[in-house]
Amino acid sequence: MKYRTFFAVLLIAALAFTGCAKEEKAAPVAAKPAFKVGLVTDLGGIDDKSFNQGTWEGIIRFGEENGLVKGTDYKYLQSGAEADYVPNLSTFADEKLDLIVAPGFLFANAMGEVAEKYPQQKLMIIDDSSVQKPNVVCAVFAEHEGSYLVGVAAGLKAKADGKNVLGFIGGMQFPLIEKFQAGFEQGVKAVYPEAKILVDYAGDFGAPDKGQALAQKQFNAGAYIIFHAAGGTGNGMIKEAKERSEKGDVRWAIGVDKDQYTDGLYGDKSAVLTSMMKRVDVAAYEVAKMTMAGQFPGGQTLVFSLKNAGVGIPNENPNLSADIVSAVNDYAAKIASGALVVSEIPAK
């Protein structure tokens, strides 16, 4: 009897425990954030090694950090011509994405049109501040500040190597691109007043052949280092610098928008001296982050400068000596603090 009583007690306890276990609820699984962001590229394509690619990298980082699904929650549409801008933006707007990003001032008219047609759609344009709509946030950059830094690097490098001719190649001649020219010229002259700077504009952002032809012209005229602000067109300049350097006629290219060091590789060397990084990735990432948090800065123009790490040179610069990097950092600190003001307008 004692054993029967003992086992009965155990059975009752076990049943009671089982009942309690059934009543316990499983811990809730965190829901994946419902957020969708789309990029409409400019003419250079998603892998232009410049503006579009840099913006997309910022969106990728945002998507991965927030558990979003590539191709579903964050995706892109490529534009083959300016006529594609409105249809591509409208396609994403019809899908009711939470944020649509367009990199490049050439989107201004299309962005304004789509913003009016879809007043509830949140939109972002990079490199333009003219679209003043409550559902549009504009992101602009202090290109002249970052260009000043690569001008300092180019001037010091040329001076150290006994060269006195440098070059600048722009895509289209607009005030925006002239800011790159202005900053570069001021940076060069700050450390090497005697240097001569050649300037050419290709009239195109997506023509590497034109960029290479202009690079041939400037290199033949004695240019030792060329800085480009020409998107895909500038890739032709880098190609020309690389081909000459491979043959022993060492020439240098300065990249733009993103670190273009790998684009200049030949063997274990690179023809890219440094790059003026315009952190379009940071702009896209930050605005997507704000939008998902319910803080979309519609109607505002956000400025990315040296003060908030929106422009600058890469963290690693294998082709710059330590003393040149130190000088660049000193100038960067002066500009960020306001002690040195860089003009946005090229000298006449």
Collapsed DSSP state (helix, strand, coil) of residue 344? coil
Q: Which domains does the chain have, with CATH numbers?
A: 37-141+281-304 (3.40.50.2300), 144-277+318-337 (3.40.50.2300)
225 with 158: CB under 8 angstroms? yes
Whether residue 184 contacts residue 168, with contact meaning beta carbons closer than 8 Å, is answered with yes
Residue 24 has pLDDT above 60, yes or no: no
Higher per-residue confidence, 133 vs 176:
133
Tokens read off for 234: 């500038």
Model confidence at 33, in pLDDT bands (50, 70, 90)? low
Average pLDDT for residues 332-345, to the nearest whole number? 97
Residue 49: pLDDT band (50, 70, 90) is: confident
Residue 109 CB neighbours (<10 A) = 13
Q: Please count the residues of the chain.
A: 348
| In contact, 227 and 186? CB cutoff 8 Å | no
User: 245 CB contacts (<8 Å, ≥6 apart)?
Assistant: 251, 252, 266, 269, 271
Largest CA distance in the chain: 111
Is the pLDDT confidence value at 20 over 70?
no
Cβ contact 308:140 at 8 Å: no
Cross-strand pairs, 83? none
Q: In what order do the strands lie in the sheet with 99-103?
A: 74-77, 37-40, 99-103, 123-126, 136-141, 301-304
Cα separation, 287 vs 278, in Å, equals: 16
> In this predicted structure, what is the pLDDT of residue 50?
77
CA 213 to chain centre: 26
* Token pair in block for residue 344: 């946005």
pLDDT digits (tens, 9 = 90+) for 203-213: 998 899 999 99
